[in-house]
Amino acid sequence: MDAHLSQWLNLALRWSHVITGVAWIGTSFYFNWLNGRLAPPPAERAEPGVAGELWSVHGGGFYRVVKYTVAPAALPSTLHWFKWEAYATWLSGFVLLVLIYYLDAAAYLVDTQVSTLSPRAAIAVGVGALVGSWLVYDALCRSRLGQAPLALAGVLFVLGVALAWGLTQLFAPRAAYLHVGAAIGTIMAANVLMVIIPAQQEMVAALAQGRLPDATRGRQAALRSLHNNYFTLPVLFIMVSSHYPATYGHRLNWLILAGLAVVGVATRHWFNLRNQGRHNMWLLPGAAVALVALALITAPHGDGAPSGPAGKPAVSFADVRVIVARRCAPCHSAAPTVAGLAAAPLGIALDTPEEIRARAERILAVAVVTHTMPLGNVTAMTDQERALLGNWIRSGATLR
């Protein structure tokens, strides 16, 4: 595909994914907040079958929302459904996954420093992880374990951590994180398509026919909706995780991701409790402490590389510039030479001494500490070259 066309297709898909994701998560957060804030109407506004109401003001107007215990006596002619946001988010995300990680699997999906998987085998594993995650999750929810929500949540967490560990042993670190997020996103979208919307359709059909709705389907829909609510914050982190190599580039990246997922779930639980008028003063501080602990765990540690005699740098900039030109500048240049790149990724060019020194700390993080750059080590940077770069940066990153 033409590099310029590919770049604009990437932009359109990513933008669409963000827009539809905001719409999906926004409605989910709103309805969870709404359910937690509903209160029985006072006697003067009491209506048969009404479970609760809520008054709000927004955009210069007053709104009154009413929720029925089951349904109104007569269904309205127009009933609004919330489903296309979920479908569009998943479709745009999957196409983006294909465009970036599958069409250019050799650069983005596989990493010879991690495993010897071929690009085709890696793609098969990636697609299998998405499909398999849904099948296992759905089977567990429909099993007897689905009647014990906390036990089910524990099993799902353990399986999710196992998936993260397995993918980090097979894929490039960034790709592993993105596939964990894609697996969770697939579960969330499939919950809407396969369980939640069918249950709502069954309820509407039953009311129209004057019969009782299927209670089992309703319970499954409620369970899946609850899971989707708690999945959102971990998925949102994974969507932006590529900006934070200290997480996916760490040797315990799968465990770091598990810890961040716990932080996200705890934060979401705090909001859910708050929406219900139940306050827990320990959840958010506990999540903050966990976040600080993860930051300390992933903090880079110097290798104690000494400086040269009389305080001179142990490594000359001339040596560093050769490494950067060979291993980094093919992508990070005003005129990249790697096929498919029309401009330097993230606008980071390393053509001049000043540009290299200005990005020294970033180079230390991604090329020396986490080894996440070059992507898939496509330019074959050696461990000796990484150590030399680290020595130069820790010695002051001088241009001598």
Q: What is the mean pLDDT of the chain?
A: 90
In a domain, 92, yes or no: yes
Same domain, residue pair 141 and 250: yes
Residue 278, C-beta contacts closer than 8 angstroms, at least 6 positions apart: none
In a domain, 21, yes or no: no
Check residue 258 and give its pLDDT: 97
User: What range defines the domain where residue 211 resides?
Assistant: 82-297
Q: How many CA atoms lie within 13 A of 289 on its CB side?
A: 5
Predicted confidence band of residue 196 (pLDDT cuts 50, 70, 90): very high
Check residue 1 and give its pLDDT: 58
Q: What is the pLDDT of residues 148-191, one digit of tens each?
A: 999 999 999 999 999 999 999 999 999 999 999 999 999 999 99
Q: What is the pTM of this model?
A: 0.85
In a domain, 200, yes or no: yes
The top-scoring range by mean pLDDT among 33-37, 109-113, 164-168 is: 164-168
In a domain, 259, yes or no: yes
Q: Say how far apart CA 337 and CA 398 lie, in whole Å.
A: 27
Q: Residue 148, by phi and psi: left (phi above 0), alpha (psi -120 to 50) or beta?
A: beta
* Residue 4 identity: H
Q: Answer for the pair 395, 315: CB distance below 8 angstroms, yes or no.
A: yes
Q: How many domains does one find in the chain? A: 3
Check residue 314 and give its pLDDT: 66
Please tell me whether the peptide bond between 306 and the residue prior to it is cis, using omega within 30 degrees of 0. no
Q: Answer for the pair 329, 373: CB distance below 8 angstroms, yes or no.
A: no
In a domain, 18, yes or no: no
Q: Answer for the pair 2, 340: CB distance below 8 angstroms, yes or no.
A: no
Same domain, residue pair 173 and 57: no
Same domain, residue pair 261 and 329: no
In a domain, 11, yes or no: no
Q: What is the pLDDT of residues 241-272, one digit of tens each?
A: 998 989 999 999 999 999 999 999 999 999 99
Task: Answer whether residue 20 shows pLDDT above 90.
Answer: yes
Q: What is the pLDDT of residues 280-331, one digit of tens each?
A: 889 999 999 999 999 999 987 654 444 444 444 568 899 999 999 999 999 9
Same domain, residue pair 180 and 52: no
Same domain, residue pair 199 and 267: yes
Q: Say how far apart CA 5 and CA 362 lie, in whole Å.
A: 29
Q: What is the pLDDT of residues 214-245, one digit of tens each?
A: 888 888 999 999 999 999 999 999 999 998 98
Task: Answer whether residue 129 shows pLDDT above 70.
Answer: yes
Residue 36, C-beta contacts closer than 8 angstroms, at least 6 positions apart: 272, 274, 275, 276, 277
Segment 322-344 mean pLDDT: 87
Same domain, residue pair 180 and 200: yes
Q: Say how far apart CA 184 and CA 232 lie, in whole Å.
A: 9
- Secondary-structure percent of the chain, ordered helix, strand, coil, rounded to 5: 65, 5, 30
Using the 3D structure, point to which of 257, 275, 297 is the last residue of a domain. Answer: 297
Same domain, residue pair 98 and 242: yes
3-state class (DSSP) for residue 303: coil
In a domain, 57, yes or no: yes
Same domain, residue pair 213 and 96: yes
Q: Say how far apart CA 31 and CA 277 lie, in whole Å.
A: 15
Q: Say how far apart CA 249 and CA 277 lie, in whole Å.
A: 40
In a domain, 12, yes or no: no
Same domain, residue pair 171 and 204: yes
Residue 302, C-beta contacts closer than 8 angstroms, at least 6 positions apart: 394
Predicted confidence band of residue 69 (pLDDT cuts 50, 70, 90): confident
Check residue 2 and give its pLDDT: 66
Same domain, residue pair 219 and 320: no
